Amino acid sequence: MTAAFDLAGKRALVTGANTGIGQAIAIGLAASGATVVAAGRSSCAETLRRIEAAGGAGEELTLDLADPVAAGARLSDAGDLDILVNNAGIIRRADSVEYTEADWDDVMDVNLKAVFVLCQAFARAAIARNTGGRIVNIASLLSFQGGIRVPAYTASKHGVAGLTKILANEWSTHGINVNAVAPGYIATDNTAALRDDPVRSAEILGRIPAGRWGDPADIAGAVGFLCMPASAYVTGAVLNVDGGWLAR
């Protein structure tokens, strides 16, 4: 492994690391040499088992992002961090005319407010240490498109894209690169219903130039690059990893 692609000696926290994309990101960062703090509201034991089975190093931190301020206050429990990956998110579906304030607030708290609070806590510590660092936020195709029946999710993911850019503007001078990755249609538990629907699955695949559903490892690779020395001059970017969906 060349130095440009080596994360040895780095310490990374990944939220929502118990399954799916977050789990793949945690495993990928560990495979590149980082010590990974797998954070989630539920157990990340399986993620840690897979990291350790591959010869990597990891720890677990219980973090409930439904209370963003409390979660931010606990970030120091993870020790000095070099990398923060804000992956955790939730979605609530309903027609916009029926959407409840409670659903709106729940989605915004986890998907946007918690992202800002964790970024802020990470940056305060990194600036105080004068060590720099990397932040990667997980955006979405709905950072660019409207979607249907997911008003809070769409608004939150547009917010993640904008937040990524303003934080890059403010913090890059401190050596903190802030970027985002926007996944396309990825084969996870969250998309199982779509993949199991022959009509809807065919419609989706018909628009993806790559002709396949994405794998969580596809996202992990992109996130890993944005955490590595090789991407030192990349900041304020939102990288689409969608098999060409948005280009269609």
Domain annotation covers residue 104? yes
Q: In what order do the strands lie in the sheet with 133-138?
A: 57-62, 35-40, 11-15, 83-86, 133-138, 176-183, 238-241
**153 is an active site residue:** yes
Mean pLDDT of 226-241: 98
Mean residue pLDDT across the chain? 97
Residue with tokens 């539920």: 42
Q: What is the pLDDT of residues 64-96, one digit of tens each?
A: 999 999 999 999 999 999 999 999 999 999 999
Domain annotation covers residue 132? yes
Pairing of strands 83-86, 57-62: unpaired
- Domain range for 54 is 3-190+217-240
Q: If you count them, how many residues does the chain have?
A: 248
Residue with tokens 């996202």: 219
Domain annotation covers residue 200? no
Total of domains in the chain: 1
What is the Cα–Cα distance from 12 to 147, expressed in whole angstroms? 32
Residue 169, both tokens: 């503007």
What is the Cα–Cα distance from 24 to 240, expressed in whole angstroms? 17
Q: Which 3 state secondary structure label does DSSP give 90?
A: coil
**194 or 66, greater pLDDT:** 66
**CATH (domain of 76):** 3.40.50.720
Catalytic residue among 99, 153, 185, 233: 153
Domain annotation covers residue 65? yes
Domain annotation covers residue 231? yes
